[in-house]
Amino acid sequence: MRKLSQCDAGVAEMRDICHELKDMRYLNWAKTKHSSGTAGSFLKSYDDTGYIKKYYKLSDYAPGKGIVGHECINEIIVQRLLGLLGIEHLEYRLIHAIVTIDDEEHETWLCESDDYKNKGESKLALEDFYAAYRVSDETPFDFCVRMGWGDIICDMLVLDYLILNRDRHGANIEVLRDRKSRKNRLSPLFDHGLSLMCRCRTEEDILNFNVMEDKRVQSFIGTNSALENLTIVPRDHIRNLINSHKMTDKTEDVLLTGISEIMSEAFCHKIWEMISGRWNFLGSI
């Protein structure tokens, strides 16, 4: 195991990846192991000892096998894509760390994030907010449009096609409610680990992965097809997004800088093939 070190604080603020190994064995992953949602195979923790509370999550963990997934790497790739597209999102930082799970040490990569709520805000799953305030026969998409969130939801549906997000269930979109003003807003987009090639565990899986295949997804707003969900989005919205941004070799560098030091060349090549191929398809609509 490599010698432990700390990231230089000044430089770390400017990066979304900390390659130096950090000792994070103080984090307690057991306290969220049996909570609701995806916790249990995607363990979560937090640190509230500092001035700002920090939240942490791991890639897919299998008892007896260790951390077998790369969902945390996906989060960084997707947040970079979101940044390029100008879509509000939760900021993650990828940290190379040693953690302890069930008294066993693991060297891994984890995601760190801050709280996206403003002071005085509480959060509620969109599915619960929709159930409480929808009108008769109103679809989740129509409800969001009525609430003034149409553009955000359209951006989300396009993004979820680009990255083949399998996990946009009704609690992975949140409504933030201000207790004083009673105003509601949608949270920044978050939780994109179960996307891209999230189920590819070997080089063979990566090489055989069909980047344009429309796999089954969870989508509270739409259907089980990320491709079919594009039909909900007004064509002008897609065209404006495509015309406002270009996918070039420079884009590939932005998305994958630092990732090639963590994942294989085949993985990085396939990620770019997937995002650029799906982007080009959007341009043909």
Each of the 285 residues of the chain gets a pLDDT tens digit; together they read 433 333 433 333 348 999 999 999 999 997 454 444 443 378 999 999 888 899 999 999 998 899 999 999 999 999 999 999 999 999 999 999 999 999 999 999 999 999 999 999 999 999 999 999 999 999 999 999 999 999 999 999 999 999 999 999 999 999 999 999 989 999 999 999 999 999 999 999 999 999 999 999 999 999 999 999 999 999 999 999 999 998 988 999 999 999 999 999 999 999 999 999 999 999 998
Structure tokens that stand for 244 in this block: 């406002």
Amino acid at 213: E
Q: Which of 16, 78, 59, 60 is nearest to 271 (CA)?
A: 78
C-beta of residue 44 within 8 angstroms of C-beta of residue 29: yes
CB within 8 A of 52, min separation 6: which ones? 114, 115
pLDDT at position 217 is 97
In the chain, the amino acid numbered 87 is I
Closest alpha carbon to 274 in 193, 216, 207: 207
The CATH number of domain 121-284, selected from 3.40.50.720, 3.40.50.150, 3.60.21.10, 1.10.1070.20? 1.10.1070.20
Q: Give the other-Cβ count within 10 Å of 54's Cβ.
A: 16
Task: Quote the pLDDT of residue 190.
Answer: 96
Per-domain residue ranges for the chain? 9-114, 121-284
The contacts of residue 65 (CB under 8 Å, 6+ apart) are none
Query: Which is nearest to 75 in space by CA: 49, 95, 61?
Result: 95
What pLDDT is attached to residue 11? 35
Q: What type of residue sits at position 219? A: S
The two three-digit tokens of residue 97, written as one number: 């760390």
The pLDDT value recorded for residue 151 is: 97
Residue pair 161/247 in contact (Cβ under 8 Å)? The answer is: no
Q: What is the Cα–Cα distance from 155 to 152, expressed in whole angstroms?
A: 5
The token pair at 158 is: 């396009």
Question: Rounded to two decimals, what is the model's pTM?
Answer: 0.91
**Rounded CA separation 99/143 (Å):** 42
